[in-house]
Structure 1
């Protein structure tokens, strides 16, 4: 299997404290991969390194063979990494449709003058963006809510909208940061189905940070477990979750 993401020897320190140390991870194209670990293990720091929020002190990150180490967030997004956040970051006072259209601006362009004067090119591009955004909303059964304010959607639907907006950037790799946070069991079950569907429908490679072990064991093929910024275990999900070191790290025994 070809790798979509290759991470080698990734390290970063903050004020002398080593937050992530010599982190390695390979994710194959089309894989649904999990990154887990106790609170404070460094998982979100790794997402921030992968997306250009932080620049690593050492190490290499390659996306589909392209070296993206230390690039700016916008350039990494254009290269093909999109993410969601543990705390939903929608444009709450914009419509559901417009939230998705924000994600489309990587691929649809008109200049300021064309926009102000609403010239034919502006109208053509806006029509194409509306059509593409509605296609994405249909995938998540949100098309009927297109004109609603994003803040008026139920929590589970806001999560779906955030994923739809990330997919609008046409990524190669989708990073999901604790998507089940704050969800009840029914919403979590629906989310599992949504993530699996996204992977199949878009032939998407997905990396997931999650604390809900039922969700992780239900959909992730392989896992990396992080503890104090270092890899504790790595491999097929069932094997990793049965590793005594992993059980100890989680239960604190």
Structure 2
């Protein structure tokens, strides 16, 4: 059963079709890739899926629920979380508090409770601390829980961003160029992390990536975009060997 169904998605900026009749179907538990040249419309699609942009036309269904045009907050609550090409952590907050920021989507208390520190406040905080530490341990970040996020090495900042996204308890995780800026060893470790997340969190993952080693190594299916259009979709090995894809994207 498809977790994400997108049909006839369109958006224009100043008369230019940034995304034109985009469609994709992603099954539950799938690790899916979205690739294409710079300016092909990949990040625009992520922004449409997460409510940053509202489409001119088209339907976005998540797990049977129409989320087209909803706010970013409502879409996150419905089950989509994302990371960014340029890491967006709360750099002056601790590693632990970054993850707890994601947990606030589900474990909440009122402003009054937070100010007065009622028993409910301490109960919720204790629960969030325990949940956050469990997530940090999964990513081998529990020993750095109390340090500032800005003091983590680059590769660990990537892991923390994924951990924070998972704290919102999504059904679909969007990874925007997760390997950007990583060296080969960090990329290998990242591939293992992404596989682990999919397999152990019952997660469906859609990623944008330019690193073809990562794409071919972990993605089961791909969509290739070119100038906002779907150029090719299908099994990863078939897509990457398609002459049109090679001509448009791989430059060979």
Q: Which residue of 2 aligns with 1:169?
A: 168
Structure 1 pair 33–11 and aligned structure 2 pair: CA distance change class (3 A): same
Q: Which residue of 2 aligns with 1:153?
A: 152
Q: Which residue of 2 aligns with 1:65?
A: 64
1:72-221 aligned within 5 A? 72-221=71-220
Q: Which residue of 2 aligns with 1:13?
A: 12
Equivalent pairs counted in the alignment come to: 252
In terms of mean alpha carbon deviation, does 228-237 or 103-112 score higher?
103-112
Measured after TM superposition, the shift of residue 252 of structure 1 is 4.3
Instruction: Give distance in 1, aligned partners of 2:223 and 2:234.
Output: 7
Instruction: Give distance in 2, aligned partners of 1:241 and 1:116.
Output: 55
SS of residue in 2 equivalent to 1:167: helix
Measured after TM superposition, the shift of residue 112 of structure 1 is 1.3
SS of residue in 2 equivalent to 1:182: coil
Measured after TM superposition, the shift of residue 223 of structure 1 is 0.1
Measured after TM superposition, the shift of residue 115 of structure 1 is 1.1
Q: Which residue of 2 aligns with 1:54?
A: 53
Instruction: Give distance in 1, aligned partners of 2:250 and 2:71.
Output: 38
Unaligned runs of 5+ in 2: none
**TM-score, normalised via structure 2 length:** 0.99
Measured after TM superposition, the shift of residue 86 of structure 1 is 0.1
**After superposition, what is the alpha-carbon deviation per residue over 1:87-145, rounded to whole angstroms, capped at 9, x for unaligned?**
00000000000000000011111111111111100000000000000000010000000
Instruction: Give distance in 1, aligned partners of 2:189 and 2:27.
Output: 25
**TM-score, normalised via structure 1 length:** 0.99
Q: Which residue of 1 aligns with 2:240?
A: 241
Measured after TM superposition, the shift of residue 154 of structure 1 is 0.2
Instruction: Give distance in 2, aligned partners of 1:250 and 1:20.
Output: 17
Instruction: Give distance in 2, aligned partners of 1:157 and 1:173.
Output: 22
Measured after TM superposition, the shift of residue 158 of structure 1 is 0.1
Instruction: Give distance in 1, aligned partners of 2:24 and 2:34.
Output: 10
Measured after TM superposition, the shift of residue 245 of structure 1 is 0.2
Q: Which residue of 2 aligns with 1:36?
A: 35
Instruction: Give distance in 2, aligned partners of 1:45 and 1:176.
Output: 13
Instruction: Give distance in 1, aligned partners of 2:95 and 2:140.
Output: 12
Unaligned runs of 5+ in 1: none
Instruction: Give distance in 2, aligned partners of 1:211 and 1:191.
Output: 14
Instruction: Give distance in 1, aligned partners of 2:206 and 2:108.
Output: 29
